[in-house]
Amino acid sequence: MHAIPPTIGTVGLWVPALDTNPPAESAALAAEVEALGYGALWISEGLVRDPFMEAATLLNATSRLVVGTGIAVIWGRHPRVVRTQTRALLDAHPDRFVLGLGTSHARVVEGVLGLRFERPLAELRAHLDRLDEHDALLDLTGLPHKTAPRVLAALGPKALALARDHSAGAITYLVTPEHTAEARAVLGPDRTLVVEQAVVTGVPLDVARARARDHIAGYLGGGPYPANWRRLGFTDEDLADGGSDRLVHALVALGDDEIAERVAAHLAAGADHVCLQALPADFGSAPVDQWRRLASLAR
């Protein structure tokens, strides 16, 4: 399994809905992220543009930055198409693209994509098997086979084991350092662990708390996150009424000092790379001021 490029460093950015900006603005934002010293920029499943095409835009605008899909959803994507899309990115930008794959959850797959969400781990395993099949058509060209380094979205033990056995590692989302330690134990020492960490800084504390609570509330309605939080010891009371202070504080770091401490805690618990999701005032807007404020963590 191909390793993750070491140039991602220990701190990067995870940015949702970057594709809601015009391509030229997305490109300019990627160039600034690179100039600030971040090693990697992770982008979510596309809302208005395909994430592989968006990755090409970001890679073309930069010279060193690693771009990863965090994550591309497998449903509705033929494995061979994924293979050829990633091959195009690798050919143009060697060692600068990471393929993040996952199943998402029923609310997205059924409610948005209109597809059936069944047996997600089995479907992901089958997708990976087909992704790794020998490409007979490529043999006709005489060109070498190339495979992008990949990480799988994983939270529970079974998903983490799948990431260990069928990828270069895992990417986790909305987790605590305690979960990071558990994930490292499942993955073992030789797999890459990428951890997303939600943060808010540069605004009054009451504003930061409200922004954090709104963010967590959006994940309380179902999907894999509440189940994972229960595994970590949070109770039904923590998950009621928009989430308890304890839950919100455990998942979103507020202010420069707390963010630095949380990043250090994830790294100490076994993360290789922490990607910061700076929560903006408005969905889809780029929190550039926060990126600039936190850039010292990447350097």
CATH code, domain with 263: 3.20.20.30
Its pTM stands at 0.96
**What is the rounded average pLDDT for all residues in the chain?**
94
List the single range of 115-124, 199-208, 235-244 with lowest mean pLDDT: 115-124
* pLDDT value for 1: 60
In a domain, 1, yes or no: no
CA distance 212 to 108: 22
* pLDDT value for 211: 97
Average pLDDT rounded to a whole number, residues 226-235: 97
Q: How far is CA 58 from CA 48, 68, 85, 200, in A?
A: 15, 10, 15, 24
Whether the per-residue pLDDT at 3 is higher than 90: the answer is no
* pLDDT value for 2: 75
In a domain, 108, yes or no: yes
Helices (H), 132-188: 136-139, 157-166, 177-187
* pLDDT value for 91: 95
50's CB contacts (< 8 A; 6+ apart) are none
In a domain, 123, yes or no: yes
Q: What are the pLDDT digits (tens) for 119-145?
A: 999 999 999 999 999 888 777 887 887
In a domain, 117, yes or no: yes
- Count CB neighbours of 63 within 10 A: 10
Confidence class of residue 113 from pLDDT cuts 50, 70 and 90? Answer: low
Residue pointed to by tokens 């994430």: 51
DSSP summary character for residue 38 = -
In a domain, 198, yes or no: yes
Helices (H), 145-231: 157-166, 177-187, 205-217, 224-231
In a domain, 159, yes or no: yes
CA distance 256 to 290: 10
Domain hosting 15: range is 6-298
* pLDDT value for 105: 77
The structural domain count of the chain equals 1
* pLDDT value for 291: 98
* pLDDT value for 117: 76
Q: What are the pLDDT digits (tens) for 34-68?
A: 999 999 999 999 889 999 999 999 999 999 999 99
